[in-house]
Amino acid sequence: MSRFPMSVLTLTLVAASSRTHAAPDLSISAVPYLTGGLFTKPILPAEGDCVVITVRASLTGAIDSDPSAKLTLLSPDGRTVAERTLQLKPAKDCAEATWTWQAGANGIYKVRVQVDPDNKIAESDETNNAADLVLPVLVKGRKLHFPWYREEPLSRWTTCVTSVGDPNHQVRLAERGVIPLRWEYGGMSWSYYDKEKAKTHPHEVLKDLEELFYKKYTSKADVPGFGMDEFGGYPGSWKEKASIASLKALARAKQEMPDRFFAAWNGGGLNPKMATYYRMGADLLLLETYLWRATPMDLKVEEIYQLIEDRLSPVIRSRDMIVPAYGNHCYTLIALDTSERPDWIPLGEQENVVRYVRRLCPEMRGIAWYNGGYGGYGLVKTPETDKIHQAVLDNADRLCFDCFIRPCVTLMRHGLWIDTGPGGARSLVAAVSNIGAIDSGPVSVEFLVDGKTVGTETASRIPAGPNRNVNRVLLRRTLSITPGFHAYEARIVSAKDATTLDAVARCSRLIP
């Protein structure tokens, strides 16, 4: 006699039969970008670039034929630029296809995908077959970099992750246009040298360190490059000397392997000798600031904005290291912390700091985020601190788009002046700059003399571009004023679909 009641056996068989005949399901999502099924390579194409668009639908259950997907590319004004039907090739748990598009004029495009558009497959869920992806196309000559120390899962605007150890993660990020780097110690090496020998034969140990790092940086590792950490040190210190030794190795490695990508986190002082080697070897130089935890707590810094300026002057600026120039292929970025003490980072101040960086150095091509250390430095992790931390990370990601990618129009500090023409005719001139990476739409500027409006001028667009010779427009207002002292002002009063950095510029003159 069976030990199980017949009713139980019957129910078990019915359940198994139901599972066998369960309907399949195709689904597609573009969020989060770093793990979603709709993505592009490169992540931030420039005009004319070839863009590989991947549609990778998740698949559960069995299907009898290859599914299709309708891919639509919409222009910044909503017009259909391209439309394709793709045949997706099923694999173990997905079905995918790619399509290559040559990017058009700069602007913010949208990629729209509908999987199984004709409903040929009877699915268990018909509501998860569509996804949209925002695809910015940048102006030529304004390549942007948004490196994160470690992968931030919900980030959209990541161009590089400097500490990726898992080969599977490296593949996943690379196919989405993100550069995945292997983390490695830099100069302030705490474990890679003989500490006792360093006391008696420091030059030999430093030479050994240089050779050690050279072998690491030129290893046959199947990675696009290295994210190197812990460079710095006070003048004359062992850490500074060790930094210089490993930077010598970096310069040699770059010469030998020019296609390998190197990003360097500089946490301490930067002397001219170190800067020279960065110029020769680094693709990204990331200047750490620790504005919200270390520098106020350890150094008692009150004026965090001055600290940002001090990171750039005089060494970086005097050696023309903000962007590649005169044989230097290195981009220098300010790096901001997000995670050591997110409870000390007001979101408004975080934005204010990024705006200051843009104002201080408008030619800087992006910003770096140090997102390590959460749960340390005296912070007790709770659901509430998790929420605060995620808000800081989300805000950092948004600021990449708002302050660097989309049009970012501004009146710079000295962007208002008086022109005197033939016969003594005077005009008030406002130089409206676009330091974003995409052309703006119409921008209107109101002119005031002694606090009273004298008129408004409008530019149909402010072009983006690699430098001030092409990315600004001069708006003029003819003046009829009496002699004496006058205060002049220009205000950006309208800039649709653009970030406005500084909306006001002022100057004063004594008119004879």
Q: List, in order, residues 6 or more apart from 452 with CB less than 8 Å away.
A: none
Rounded to the nearest angstrom, the gap between the alpha carbon of residue 473 and the centroid of all alpha carbons in its chain is 27
Q: State residue 12's pLDDT score.
A: 36
Write the pLDDT tens digit of every residue in 183-205.
998 876 667 788 889 889 999 99
Q: State residue 424's pLDDT score.
A: 81
Cβ neighbours, 10 Å, residue 39: 23
Q: What is the mean pLDDT of the chain?
A: 93
Least confident window among 177-191, 427-441, 452-466:
177-191
Write the pLDDT tens digit of every residue in 132-151.
999 999 999 999 999 999 99
- In the predicted structure, residue 4 carries a pLDDT above the cut 70: no
Q: State residue 21's pLDDT score.
A: 57
Q: State residue 190's pLDDT score.
A: 64
- In the predicted structure, residue 14 carries a pLDDT above the cut 90: no
Higher pLDDT, 10 or 110: 110
Question: Do 314 and 273 touch, CB atoms closer than 8 A?
Answer: no
Higher pLDDT, 505 or 20: 505
How does DSSP assign 291-330, residue by residue? TTTHHHHHS----HHHHHHHHHTTHHHHTT-SS-BTTB--
Write the pLDDT tens digit of every residue in 82-120.
999 999 999 889 999 999 999 999 999 999 999 999 999
Query: What is the distance in angstroms between the CA of the first residue and the CA of the last residue of the chain?
Result: 117
Write the pLDDT tens digit of every residue in 208-226.
999 999 999 999 878 899 9
Distance CA 427, CA 111 (A): 45
Give the domains, in start order, of the chain with CATH numbers. Answer: 24-137 (2.60.40.10), 147-405 (3.20.20), 408-511 (2.60.40.10)
Average pLDDT over residues 421-434: 92
**Amino acid identity at 488:** Y
Distance CA 232, CA 229 (A): 9
Q: State residue 290's pLDDT score.
A: 95
Distance CA 60, CA 124 (A): 10
Instruction: Tell me the sheet residues that pair with 427.
Output: 419, 478
User: With 0-12 CB in 10 A as exposed, 13-18 as middle and 19+ as buried, what is 488?
Assistant: buried
Q: Confidence band (pLDDT; 50, 70, 90) for 447? A: very high
Distance CA 86, CA 68 (A): 5
